[in-house]
Amino acid sequence: MASLATFRALRNCRFSLISPSAIPYSRSIFRLISTLVLGEHEGGFLKPSTLSAVSAASSFGKDNSISILLGGSGSDLKKAALHAASTHPVISQVLVADADILMHPLAEPWADLVHLLQKKGAYSYIISASSSFGKNVLPRAAAILDVSPITDVIEISEPYLFVRPIYAGNALCTVRYTGLDPCMVTIRSTSFPPSSIPTVVESSAAPISQVDLSAFNKETGGKSRWLKLTSQETDRPDLGNARIIVTGGRGLKSAENFKLLDKLAEKLGAAVGATRAAVDANFVPNDLQVGQTGKIVAPELYMAFGVSGAIQHLAGMRDSKVIVAVNKDPDAPIFQVADYGLVADLFEVIPELIEKLPEKK
């Protein structure tokens, strides 16, 4: 039984209620951190951009439970699930949503699926690569969940502190997320390379679970519908993940002249890219566009021929390890970011390179 002195001591104490929002990162105090990664797969394997998203998700904390969501149907989905389960030791679970409507990256059904899973799983974070898929799905899902997404993140400084480029990459902005869960993020895959991912032994593979879609409207079509996928059949590396990229600009003057780059790329084992000006001029299809409104790349070697160096193009390739520029205009802005520059006629330089480079083995 408490003594009279104890009651008097309590009577003289002052108590105050502290709002959970006043405690930094209070969300991680009251429950474990969990992350849902929106996965992309092709041919039975996770895309490298999804592996980058997993690497980024591991930055949220050591006790972070990471789940990967894969959607679609057929044998490729099953193979991709097996690949995801054994690709990284930080992956806690692989969620498989088997439905034909999820085979294509339409925002409406995917956003509804994310909403469904968030109601069930109450994730702290939902993350995807800043690819066409991620840019399409995640903002719509964020709107349904009534949260503000943080896009194109290049660095995770703290659990809710992010760095993202602004003004076409000419400045970096630090953003602290103070909203409700989930914190929804798209990451620039070139900033979170998956090359350091260790191999997982089969015995420690993550469990694979089927998502209960009984409450999911599989007929959801919204205002968009899938028509077809048009892409070039090529044996060259994917532009977004290539070690070497050869890019042409408006200086190539025609689609016929772009075939010179194709020959050079074959010699180097490189991917071919293009500027927005070259795409707008119908020299090449738009899936080869590099830049702020195209693909963001960071190869080991980036060779630019006839590229002036517009701001929106530089935003998509400035993180390349080595940049080589060939342009007959000595004042071209591309030379300001190039490690090696050559003021010369590209129609003389490219044939000479093709002639002197050895055949790729």
Give the CA count within 13 Å in the CB-facing half-sphere of 262: 10
Binding site for FAD: residue ranges? Answer: 250, 275-276, 289-293, 306-313, 327
Which two structure tokens, joined as six digits, stand for 108? 């409406």
Specify whether the CB–CB gap between 112 and 216 falls below 8 A.
yes
Provide DSSP, 320-347: -SEEEEE-S-TT-GGGGT-SEEE-S-HH
Distances (CA, A) of 87 to 52, 68, 94: 12, 11, 11
Residues with Cβ within 8 Å of 22's Cβ and at least 6 positions away in sequence, in order, are: none
Q: How far apart are CA 33 and CA 127, in angstroms?
A: 13
Distances (CA, A) of 39 to 60, 119, 172, 242: 18, 19, 27, 20
Binding site: residue ranges? Answer: 250, 275-276, 289-293, 306-313, 327
CA proximity to 107, closest of 228, 231, 225: 225
Task: Tell me the residue type at 217.
Answer: N
- Between the CA atoms of 310, 312, 317 and 318, what dihedral angle is there, to the nearest 10 degrees? 80
